[in-house]
Amino acid sequence: MKSAKPSREPPKRTRIDPDEGAFLEQYRAEAYARPSVTVDLVILTVLDHDLKVLLVQRSEHPFKNRWALPGGFVRVSDDRNDQGEDLDAAALRELEEETGLSQAACGKFFLEQVRAFGKPGRDPRMRVISVAYYALVRPGLVPLIRPGGDVSHTRWFSVGELGDKHGLAFDHEEILKATLDRARADLDRTSIAFELVAETFTIQELRAVHEAIRGETLDPGNFRKKFLRMIEDGLIELARGKRATASKPAHVYRFARGDAASV
């Protein structure tokens, strides 16, 4: 639309009035066929050193009984005063519906768009373009999750043991892969790791998150050095208390909201 040159504008059945108001009134919104648009959610957490993704089992065709990413339609309208919900809002709504958690109660969720997936045929029913989002849920919240619909059809899967056994519905395999790539790239460019630990955490707990996402073990000594550098940069600060472990109790730290960054 937007930049469409005359030759590519939707066929118009009436002359365009130069006045914009009138133009909008008589614009043929129905001139082009439209796809359905959905959001699909890659909800991730880390449980006992393992990166997990939340899947739901489909109860209807197509892909009946297969596991799929949770998702749903974006609510839209052509009403000029209310065109419906934002993509981000749709993703948040789905996340809350799907987990029973509310952002109001749990604090801001990490929820970011990955990209759009729209291959023809990805949904046999109709043309569907899906905007994928990825969400990070702190392990502490996991037990509080009350799946929106049928409890028995919602489950956490280790991303490691997935991929081989279960063929996911639609192109969700591809969406999941793209999202994991994105998460791994974000890991050492952003602060997403802190979204997967509790309010306070030990060095090893943060390391476990890095290891789970990258899928490999990291040298504890070297990781500590990176950690100490983050403290120097004011990104992390020591918190009160200690965490009991299998051996010597560990210091706990807190993520210092990016504000205290500079000198």
Partner DNA sequence: GCAAAAGTGTTTAATTTACACCCATGC
Partner DNA sequence: GCATGGGTGTAAATTAAACACTTTTGC
Of residues 231-260, which lie at the interface with DNA (CB under 7 A)? 244-251
Pick the closer one to its own copies by CB: 171 or 205: 171
Task: List all residues 6 or more positions away from 8 whose beta carbon is below 8 Å from its beta carbon.
Answer: none
> Does residue 59 belong to the site contacting DNA (CB under 7 A)?
no
Q: Of 128, 209, 171, nearest to 42 (Cα)?
A: 171
At closest approach, how far in Å is the CB of 166 from its own copies? 14
Using the contact rule CB under 8 A, the part of the chain among 81-89, 103-111, 202-210, 240-248 near its own copies is: 81-89
Decide: is 229 part of the binding site for DNA (CB under 7 A): yes
Residue 40 contacts residue 113 (beta carbons within 8 Å) = no
Coil, strand, or helix at residue 4? coil
Q: Applying CB under 8 A, does 221 fall inside the site for its own copies?
A: no
Kindly indicate which of the ranges 4-12, 157-165, 193-201, 237-245 contains the residues binding its own copies, using the contact rule CB under 8 A. Answer: 4-12
Closest approach, Cβ 133 to its own copies, in A, equals 10
Give the pairing of strands 250-255 and 200-201.
antiparallel
> What separation in angstroms does the CA of 5 have from each of 1, 14, 17, 226, 233?
9, 17, 17, 53, 51
C-alpha distance from residue 237 to each of 142, 203, 233, 240 (Å): 26, 11, 10, 10
Q: Kindly state whether residue 38 participates in binding its own copies, applying the rule CB under 8 A.
A: yes
Among the listed residues 49, 65, 84, 177, the single contact to its own copies using CB under 8 A: 84
Q: Please give the residue ranges that form the binding site for DNA (CB under 7 A).
A: 202-204, 219-222, 224-226, 229, 244-251
